[in-house]
Amino acid sequence: MAHVNLVDPASSAAAVKPTLDRIKGAFGVVPNMFKAVANSPAALASMWGSFGALGQGKLGAKLGEQIAVAVADRNDCNYCLAAHTLLGQKAGASGAEMAEAQHGRSADPRTAAALAFAVKLVENRAAVDAADVAALRAVGFDDEAIVEILAHVALNLFTNYVNVALDVPVDFPGVKLSRRS
């Protein structure tokens, strides 16, 4: 059971109802994570706005979802691992590609570099160096894309922390954490 109220979209406050309606339009339902975050209109607007902005970014949905599962696995976030595995498959990744991304790996050199950078950001609390950035540049990432990778990691840290700290019930098909195997 979640440690906070899961806001019922049907009876939600006017400050969050329009955002919850947009979320329902995007997913067909309002996932539990957003119901938990809806306790704070500011947090909900921040989270949903970040998803929307990054969804229009240059990395693309597939790589964004691969980053999300790598981050979720590092943070033991069952909720985000389940949600982003499904979303990654909807964005064109195979189940095998999402499983590899969960481990921070990819057969594609560009994706592998982005995942290695994301994993290092999380595991080293953002302590990366010039060589880490150079590895991204070597496979074609420019400054815009590098900053966007950081933004994806930051957003996923936020969602991971919400789901783990607040014990949000998973409402997506479950995926086993690799670090717990």
CATH homologous superfamily of 61-180: AhpD-like (1.20.1290.10)
User: Given this model, what pLDDT does residue 180 score?
Assistant: 52
102: nearest Cα among 60, 71, 62, 63: 71
Q: Domain locations in the chain?
A: 9-55, 61-180
- pTM, two decimal places: 0.96
Q: Torsion-angle region of residue 133: left (phi > 0), alpha (psi -120 to 50) or beta?
A: alpha
Q: State the chain's mean pLDDT as an integer.
A: 97
How many helices (H) does the chain have, and how many strands (E)?
9, 0
Tens of pLDDT along 40-70? Answer: 999 999 999 999 999 999 999 999 999 999 9
